[in-house]
């Protein structure tokens, strides 16, 4: 259990050898839920995108493909994630469409810069939803959208099991996320729930 816990805990902040294994696994393991979440982005054509908690970099790449006229900033606080994201998106970086930066969602430096912000499988580890959501809100332009995509809706058995194993992990319910978004200054919140899985895609508007 000790080795398993050490490995799955890398989801919080990938570091070292196990961290590199984890971010590689994230790209494949989270692909289906991420693509499902992106399919719910039907009313936005962003020029500037902020990918918060970029993990292995795959979702940043898919967003750039989905929106071919956009530019994207990918941020993470894990050096391993940043290295992997740069490697995965090297072509987009060379074209000037992607920037990869170290950042902390609880203290973002951006203000009124982005049309779309995304957070895939990451808010489980954010230090206070309302505070972090307010930072994302600040980074968005008026009318900008923020999408949260989670594999767990905060009530499913698998998600709660991992919550008990991984220190600092919290599987938030839809209601908790929606309330925090409104308190953080978002004006509209729409939640999509997968028909057969506990997947959620919550889209909020500034």
Kindly state the average pLDDT of the residues 27-35: 85
14 — pLDDT class (breaks 50, 70, 90): very low
160 — pLDDT class (breaks 50, 70, 90): confident
| Confidence (pLDDT) at 23 | 54
Q: Number of folded domains in the chain?
A: 1
Q: Write the burial class of residue 205 (CB in 10 Å: 0-12 exposed, 13-18 middle, 19+ buried).
A: middle
| Confidence (pLDDT) at 21 | 53
Kindly state the average pLDDT of the residues 2-10: 44
Q: For the chain, what percentages of helix, strand and coil (3-state, to nearest 5) are there?
A: 45, 20, 35
Least confident of 6-15, 59-68, 146-155: 6-15
| Confidence (pLDDT) at 24 | 57
89-117 per-position pLDDT tens digit: 999 999 999 999 999 999 999 999 999 99
CA atoms within 13 A on the CB side of 197: 14
pTM of the model: 0.89
Kindly state the average pLDDT of the residues 127-156: 97
- The residue that leads in pLDDT, 118 or 23, is 118
Domain that holds residue 69: 2-205
Q: How far apart are the first and last CA of the chain?
A: 43
Residues contacting residue 89 through CB under 8 Å, at least 6 positions apart? 57, 60, 61, 64, 74, 98, 100
Domain with residue 113: its CATH number is 3.40.50.150
Report how far apart, in Å, the C-alpha atoms of 51 and of each of 90, 120, 146 are: 16, 8, 10
Residues 50 and 117 sit within 8 Å (Cβ to Cβ): yes
| Confidence (pLDDT) at 86 | 96
């Amino acid at each position: 259990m000790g080795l398993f816990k050490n490995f799955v805990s890398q989801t919080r902040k990938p570091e070292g050898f196990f961290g590199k294994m984890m971010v590689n696994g994230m790209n494949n393991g989270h692909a289906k839920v991420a693509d499902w979440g992106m399919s719910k982005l039907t009313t936005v054509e962003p020029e500037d995108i902020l990918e918060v908690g970029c993990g292995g970099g795959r979702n940043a790449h898919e967003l750039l493909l989905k929106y071919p006229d956009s530019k994207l900033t990918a941020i993470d606080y894990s050096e391993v994630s940043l290295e992997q994201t740069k490697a995965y998106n090297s072509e987009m970086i060379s074209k000037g469409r992607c920037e990869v930066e170290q950042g902390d969602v609880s203290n973002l430096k951006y203000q009124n810069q982005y049309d779309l912000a995304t957070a895939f499988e990451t808010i489980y580890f954010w230090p206070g939803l309302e505070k972090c959501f307010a930072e994302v809100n600040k980074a968005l332009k008026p009318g900008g959208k923020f999408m949260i995509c989670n594999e767990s809706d905060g009530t499913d058995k698998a998600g709660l099991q991992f919550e008990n194993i991984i220190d600092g992990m919290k599987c938030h319910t839809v209601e908790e996320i929606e309330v925090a978004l409104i308190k953080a200054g978002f004006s509209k919140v729409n939640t999509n729930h997968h028909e057969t899985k506990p997947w959620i895609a919550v889209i909020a508007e500034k």
